[in-house]
Amino acid sequence: MTQNFSSSRRRIVQAGVASAALLGLTRKSLAADDNKILIGYWPIASGLPLYVGLERGIFKEAGLQVEGAKFASAQQVAEAMIAGRVQGSANGTASAALALAEITSPNLFKIICSNPSNHKLVLDEFVVPKDSPLKKISELAGKKVGSGPGIQNVTLAKIMLEKNGITGAQVVELPIGQHVPALAAGQLDAVYTLEPTGTAGRLKGLTRVLETGVISKYVLGNADAPWFGGSASVTTAFLKDKPDLAKRYIAAYAKAVEWVRKNPDESRTHLDGFTAIDASLVKEVPLSGFTLYNEFTASDIDYFQKFFDVFSDRKIFSRVVPVKPLIYTA
């Protein structure tokens, strides 16, 4: 795909690929060409390196045939990886969903890039209707709160409510593209969500952000801590079966990350068509950070592990999932 690829055409291609993936077609039938690489993604802002790699021709320049497969949840991406229908995940795929898949299918994947976020690198947030009288999370007791689909989103929403003195809350799972309409229609009082939801709702005059950087503050206990909530990965089957192709893809993905870093404003234009944000609004969307597999510090790994341990402590993970072995090494 090139940078001139139209939004309408882009949506048609993505819908077709996603439909094929969700219909449960085999890896072979999805890729008549054995060298085609199919990457699952969840339509949020932090998936930007994949979007840029596709539309700027970065993958094509590396001689790669890469396609994106849009899924309704990160869990569906992980399930497709287990089934061998995709060769990896884009940034923005819930790290906890990947960890659960690792428990189900050991040695499933390696992380090639994660997206740290906090109150400075904005991704996670609580959003309320524009005219809501609510001023802080602790006022959500007895209110109807939503989140994105999947165990990571629901669990984190409940933990943050607990940290604000609200226990036993019921959290409604909704596709992220429905968050703003649900708030505007009065179906929800608040949502724990991810960008570009907060920006889209604010610019449309429908919602406002209650608080950002909520995972680092309430779950990790440090507002400046990096929350590695989403990760790009490749399956170990891909690495084993096609090592040269996999390495070339990883290198091209890293090149896409670097392009995003150097061109943040222009990068935002590639959110249109891949996420729910309109083309006219993309310039306002905050960007999360990106940490490549060879850039993790010891402190990063510690915070990443602390995040995973939240799920093992709550018995959502049946065992402790060590982070370090999951990071790709060249």
Question: Is there a domain that residue 2 lies in?
Answer: no
Q: What is the residue range of 157's domain? A: 124-219
What percent of the chain shows pLDDT beyond 90?
82
- The confidence band for 7, taking pLDDT boundaries of 50, 70 and 90, is very low
Q: What pLDDT was estimated at residue 29? A: 40
Give the Cα separation of 2 and 27 in Å (integer).
Answer: 26
Write the pLDDT tens digit of every residue in 8-31: 334 333 433 444 444 444 444 444
Clarify whether residues 113 and 20 are in a common domain.
yes
CATH of the domain at 287: 3.40.190.10
Number of domains into which the chain is organized: 2
- Residue 278, pLDDT score: 81
Region 297-323: mean pLDDT is 97
| Pair 113, 240 in one domain | yes
Cβ atoms within 10 Å, residue 191? 31
Q: Are residues 135 and 88 in the same domain?
A: no
Does the pTM of the predicted model rise above 0.85? yes
pLDDT at 10: 45
Is the pLDDT confidence value at 53 over 80? yes
pLDDT higher for 134 or 20? Answer: 134
Q: Do 285 and 45 form a contact (C-beta atoms < 8 A)?
A: yes
Residues 138 and 188 in one domain: yes
Structure token digits, residue 139: 């006022």
Q: 88 and 110 share a domain?
A: yes
Q: Are residues 134 and 257 in the same domain?
A: no
- Give yes or no: residues 201 and 251 share one domain: no
pLDDT of residue 299: 97
pLDDT tens, residue by residue, 159-171:
999 999 998 888 9
Task: Say whether pLDDT at 112 is over 80.
Answer: yes
What six digits make up the tokens of 319? Answer: 């065992």
In a shared domain, residues 249 and 106: yes
Query: What spatial distance separates the first Cα and last Cα of the chain, rounded to whole Å?
Result: 28
Whether residue 252 is found in the same domain as residue 177:
no
Tell me: pLDDT of 113 over 90. Answer: yes
Q: At what angle do helices 95-104 and 74-83 cross, to 10 degrees?
A: 30
What is the rounded average pLDDT for all residues in the chain? 90
d(Cα 164, Cα 148) in Å, to the nearest integer?
20
170 and 27 share one domain = no
- pLDDT score at 146: 98
pLDDT by residue (tens digit) across 181-221?
Answer: 999 999 999 999 999 999 999 999 999 999 999 999 999 99
Of the residues 184, 219, 254, which one is the last residue of a structural domain?
A: 219
Distances (CA, A) of 270 to 2, 28, 133, 142, 253: 11, 29, 35, 39, 15
pLDDT at 108 over 80: yes
* Residue 327: φ, ψ to 5°: -80, 130
Would you say residue 1 lies in a domain? no
Residue 133 lies in a domain: yes
Q: What is the mean pLDDT of residues 224-245?
A: 97
Structure tokens of 198? 């907060």
